[in-house]
Structure 1
């Protein structure tokens, strides 16, 4: 039995305002070729299929096409919701979808009801644990005394192990879970799940199963041989620029987990960062390799350049993020002390100087005086 472990598709997500649907469909649709080439029996998505609870029509259409390609390639598909998905919406037609090989495990009531597949060695049980927000989950599980992520996930796994114990001897097991397991490394693009207590759960929570397909953290990670994060298929923040996005190909034999191999995914557009003064960035030929990349730019000009992003995009059309950190730093701003007792005109001019790094011109000072005079006149009416 071969299972492809994926997670955190986040279909519909943008990158600093840039639409990524085309890139997402290219990478995710390409998984169908991997299913065919590697003779994959099942593809699992461990949460965050979509980037938001109410995805756009375009995101739903993209996801539908991708799932269709995976099904046509011969894979059964098992999906659980993450903290970005709406479990109710994702599971709305679960009963009908199952007949076509798409298995949606979206409720606490279903987490101990596995998707059962079989190979020459017998059954493989795939349990889908949806993201469990502690407060509603403890009531959905009928155990209001549970506390925090560790409490509700611990109970979920107790029910999984209980069901597994009643299965025929030799049944292999896979658990899909969307959680923050102690020891995992975060990226900038993950939404916190700290609401409801400490977000971490110990890895011992998942003892007793052959393989745990984790979702939530966006970097591929190995916490134990049978406990892994696949990470997101695309980079969703510049903190992920050095990550090699991938999926895990998990193989089982009669004795359980036989092995796990990494399969790297294509990169539709690379990420890069660059630092320097604006004029140098615009003309230096050394930066030519950055032209086709998503770019994070840190400007070091002593004076904040005007219209910097527009000018940057004339050379770097995919510049996505811009910061101004002048060489030598800026003085810490303490406006309460800095403006105390000063006339309005001086306060306004000092503000311009602080945020731009240079004093206002004569024309700008005249405009500030006119604006202040107009405000004062309005106040006397």
Structure 2
């Protein structure tokens, strides 16, 4: 059986206020083409199908399009919910769409009821563990201590092992969680401090394959426990990370080969660093005009209207950071102490240097200030 492991579609997410729906459609269409080309039997979505608990109509239409395309390509779909999903909304039509070969598993009370599919070697049981927030589920299990994600996932996996012991055969587990020992980017928003969300990979022992979601970058915890990452880049911290999914093959005795399949990146991300004039004129940056651009400007003085000027060259420049290459040292003396006894012109010059990272007035500014001060002194004399 060939299984394509994906996760974290985040349908409806924006990128610096820009819609990602069209780019995601391109990637999911490519995914459906891979399903047909590689004769994939099952596509997994390990949580965070949507980015919001209240997805828009356009987001719902894209999910419908993607599921239909994958089914037409020949694969069964097994998906579970993540921390961004609404269990109720995502699972609302689960009872009916499973008749079409689309299995959406969102109920923690039924996580030990697998979707069972068959190949030439027998049954494969797919168990979907939705995102388990201990505070929201512990009242359903009064005899079990569920204060951390580790406790919640340990409890869930024990239920799955008990069921698998009765059924036998091979098994695949989908889970949306933060496994200990992996690196997260700045978009996994619900990782709490103190380690309460960490889940040791050992919790998932005994499953033939564990398809994890929540981390947006490809990660291999062990040969049989992996993250596929998200299909799009949703943060500049993810720039350069591959996008795609794991093609997992189960043989008669369990896990066989695991192969990474790349998916297209509709628009790459790049961070450009330098002084504004350099970024605007250097021919080396011509190749980045079609990219999502984060500009880190190193001018000593913050440029006026910098991002608008950058967007004239880089239409998709969506992030701007001023990070001066030279930072003036703070004086131990207060501002009042530094300007005490100075002339009005010197006070203005000191103020400009104070607010512009040590850069004082230009000759034009000095002449302008002198002209204004002279006019002010003349008016005082005639008054």
**TM superposition score normalised by structure 1:** 0.87
2:83 corresponding residue in structure 1: 83
- In the alignment, which residue of structure 2 is the partner of 1:111? 111
1:188 equivalent in structure 2 = 186
* Distance of aligned partners of 1:56 and 1:359 in 2 relative to their CA distance in 1, 3 Å threshold: farther
Q: How do 1:1-381 residues align onto structure 2 when only pairs under 5 Å count?
A: 1-167=1-167, 169=168, 171-194=169-192, 198-331=196-329, 353-354=354-355
Distance in 2, matches of 1:57 and 1:64, equals 11
SS of aligned partner of 1:30: helix
C-alpha displacement at 1:97, in angstroms? Answer: 1.4
- Matched residue, 1:370: none
Assess if the C-alpha contact under 8 Å between 2:300 and 2:356 holds in 1: no
Distance of 2:285 and 2:132 partners within structure 1: 46
Distance 1:231 1:333 in 2: 47
1:304 Cα offset (Å): 0.7
Superposition deviation, residue 122 in structure 1: 0.6
Q: Does structure 2 conserve the Cα–Cα contact (< 8 Å) formed by 1:211 and 1:226?
A: yes
| 3-state SS in 1 of match to 2:24 | helix
C-alpha displacement of 1:351: 9.4
Asked whether the equivalents of residues 244 and 264 of structure 1 are also in contact (C-alpha less than 8 Å), the reply is: yes
Secondary structure of the structure 2 residue equivalent to 1:165: helix
**Structure label with greater radius of gyration:** 2
SS at match of 2:210: strand
TM-score under structure 2 length normalisation: 0.87
- Residues 215-272 of structure 1 deviation map (CA, whole Å, 9 limit, x = unaligned): 0001111110000000011111111112111200111111111111110111111111
* TM superposition shift of 1:142: 4.3
Note the C-alpha offset of 1:296: 1.1
Structure 1 stretch displaced more, 323-332 or 115-124 = 323-332
Paired residues, number: 359
Partners of 1:356 and 1:232 in 2: how far apart?
Answer: 40
3-state SS of paired residue (2:113): coil
Contact 1:135 1:196 in 2 (8 A): no
Is the 8 Å Cα contact of residues 327 and 358 (structure 2) preserved in structure 1?
A: no
Structure 1 unpaired stretches of 5+: 367-381
- SS of 2:100's equivalent in the other structure is coil
**Mean alpha-carbon deviation: is it higher for 239-248 or for 212-221?**
239-248
CA positional deviation for 1:185: 1.4
- How many angstroms does 1:195 deviate by? 7.4
Q: Deviations over 1:68-91 (max 9, x none)?
A: 101111211111111111112111
- Deviation digits for residues 53-78 of structure 1 (CA, Å, limit 9, x no counterpart): 11111111111111110111121111
Asked if the contact 1:4–1:248 (Cα under 8 Å) also holds between the matched residues in 2, the reply is yes
8 Å contact from structure 2 (residues 301, 356) kept in 1: no
Structure 2 vs 1, CA of residues 91 and 62 (structure 1 numbering), >3 Å: closer, same or farther?
same
Which residue is 2:376 aligned to?
Answer: none
Superposition RMSD in Å: 2.7
Cα drift, residue 350 of structure 1: 5.2
Point out the more displaced range, 196-205 or 350-359. Answer: 350-359
Query: What secondary structure does 1:161 align onto?
Result: helix
**Following TM superposition, by how much is the alpha carbon of 1:189 offset from its aligned partner in structure 2, in angstroms?**
1.8
Distance in 1 separating the partners of 2:211 and 2:131: 13
Does the 8 Å CA contact 1:53/1:85 hold for their aligned counterparts?
Answer: yes
The alpha-carbon deviation at position 332 of structure 1 amounts to 6.3
Runs (5+) with no aligned partner, structure 2: 340-346, 373-383
8 Å CA contact 1:148–1:196 kept in 2: the answer is no
Q: Contact (CA 8 Å) 2:175, 2:212: kept in 1 or not?
A: yes
